[in-house]
Amino acid sequence: NLCLIGKMFLDTKTLYYDVEPFLFYILCEYDSTGYHVAGYYSKEKRSVQGYNLSCIMILPPKQREGYGKLLIEFSYLLSKKEGMPGSPEKPLSDFGLLSYRSYWRRAIYEILLNVSQKTNCAVSIDAISKKTGMTVDDIISTLQTDGMLQRQPGVSNYALVVDAKRIEGYVEKAREKNPRRIDPSKLRWAPFLTKGAAVLEQPKGDDELSAGELSV
């Protein structure tokens, strides 16, 4: 049913009637009358290419409220928990690329801003990947698009050139525009296991959420 709803609003969506290979994460608003679906995203249970998101859809009445970025941020939070950098399924639509470019830029800039405010502190692309859950390719692509990777003269290495005022201004505007953020401490997560896999029994409280859910 979620796929059918998504097909109504996504021209580029391919509809599969076999949804067993996918996990679905549903974003809801909550009020006195209960839960109301605002959007969702899906991902493959076992993605050979390392995709952490297959399809994302926000209902039209709930668009431009920052929910898309919130789901993207959640997908990367799961990637970090899984210990594997992820990337959205390719190719991206034009609107999807814009949304991801915006998210990637903010995530990278927040780390660079934090580093620039410290003395004698360096950062590598691998370190950014571990902190964000993004793939190295997506990080390099974003930095190259913004002209922040420059080849050092006389050598084959590249240097990361950071304009602290520029990234600080961008981060401030991004935080004002999209103040909603994921609180990682609220995540209740367990790795997805296929049938036949060994399961280690762990105590679980009555109030604990099931795997991959988030209470905000």
Contact 96, 88 (CB under 8 A): yes
Q: Which residue numbers are catalytic?
A: 89
CA distance 20 to 45: 9
143 token code pair: 């930095």
Contact 99, 69 (CB under 8 A): yes
CA angle 51, 209, 49 (to 5 degrees): 10
**Neighbouring residues of 182: CB distance < 8 A, sequence distance ≥ 6:** 70, 73, 74, 77, 214, 216
Measured CA distances, 88 to 53, 85, 103, 146, 209 (Å): 5, 11, 12, 20, 26
Q: How many CA atoms lie within 13 A of 132 on its CB side?
A: 25
